[in-house]
């Protein structure tokens, strides 16, 4: 009888140890999951406030890329974008026109466009090349607009159709696009953006400060007003 009691006590002891270990493990898993949930929530809700960029020369950063607005405007926005990026399209549809009306048309701001096609977007590289080929015929902004408005799903064939619609010399455009003539310029845009602190699209530098993502108009207005000293 004593032997049976000892075995029973031994079994109960093992069960207690296993139960205690399980409680500790569940607590650790719960804490880990809670931490991830909080981290994800913070990432979604935290605004991407303007941050100082690595030391950059805004004039040098502009290069010879397309400019919208008065070349002598006191505030410069350099944008790095991807024609296949949905957030870049959101900036184009929701915010750019407001910046144009409030600041570009009044001569306070100029916008410089630079390419940052992401490898995850299969049509982004050739779309960027299409815009650069259009720029060679002084039709960059027309191609920029139609790429965002019509989309890039049709690839090179669609881009050649767009070229015809906006009045480009189709033969010259096709030769430029098919040859990859502007690919090296696009790679330089990406290198310059990365060096200046751009980590994704759309990314902006406003008079030396980085603004990341398709922020609402109010965020851009605040950064512009700060740059204007108002």
Specify whether the CB–CB gap between 173 and 179 falls below 8 A: no
Confidence bin at 66 (pLDDT 50/70/90): very high
Which of the pair, 57 or 18, is modelled with greater confidence?
A: 57
What is residue 36's predicted lDDT score, i.e. its pLDDT?
35
Average pLDDT, the chain: 83
CB atoms within 10 A of CB 212: 18
Statement: residue 34 has pLDDT above 60? no
* DSSP conformation letters of the chain: -HHHHHHHHHHHHHHHHHHHHHHHHHHHHHHHHHHHHHHHHHHHHS----EEPSS--HHHHHTT--EES-TT-SEEEEEEE-TT-HHHHHIIIIIIHHHIIIIITTTSEEEEEEE---TT-TTHHHHHHHHHHHHTTT-HHHHHHHHHHH-STTHHHHHHHHHHHTT--HHHHHHHHHHTTTHHHHHHHHHHHHHTT--SSSEEEETTEEEESS--HHHHHHHHHHHHT-
Please state the pTM of the whole predicted model: 0.76
Statement: residue 152 has pLDDT above 80? yes
Q: What is the pLDDT of residues 199-213, one digit of tens each?
A: 999 999 999 999 999
Whole-number Å distance between alpha carbons of 99 and 89: 15
Report, as an integer, the average pLDDT of 161-188.
Answer: 98
Statement: residue 54 has pLDDT above 70? no
């Amino acid at each position: 009888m004593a032997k049976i009691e000892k075995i029973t006590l031994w079994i109960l002891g093992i069960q207690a140890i296993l139960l205690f270990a399980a409680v500790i493990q569940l607590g650790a898993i719960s804490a880990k999951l809670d931490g991830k949930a909080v981290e994800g929530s913070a990432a979604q809700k935290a605004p991407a406030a303007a941050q100082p960029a690595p030391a950059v020369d805004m004039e040098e950063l502009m290069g010879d890329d397309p400019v919208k607005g008065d070349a002598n405007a006191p505030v410069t926005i350099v944008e790095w974008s991807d024609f296949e990026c949905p957030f870049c399209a959101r900036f184009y549809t929701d915010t750019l026109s407001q910046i144009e009306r409030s600041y570009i048309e009044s001569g306070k701001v100029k916008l410089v466009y630079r390419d940052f096609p992401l490898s995850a977007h299969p049509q982004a590289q050739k779309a960027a090349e299409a815009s650069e080929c259009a720029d060679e015929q002084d039709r960059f902004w027309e191609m920029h607009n139609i790429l965002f408005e019509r989309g890039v799903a049709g690839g090179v064939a669609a881009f050649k159709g767009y070229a015809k619609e906006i009045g480009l010399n189709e033969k010259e455009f096709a030769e430029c696009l098919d040859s990859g003539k502007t690919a090296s310029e696009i790679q330089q845009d990406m290198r310059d953006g990365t060096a200046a602190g751009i980590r994704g699209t759309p990314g902006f530098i406003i008079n030396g400060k980085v603004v990341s993502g398709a922020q609402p108009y109010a965020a851009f207005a605040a950064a512009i007003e700060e740059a204007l000293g108002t």
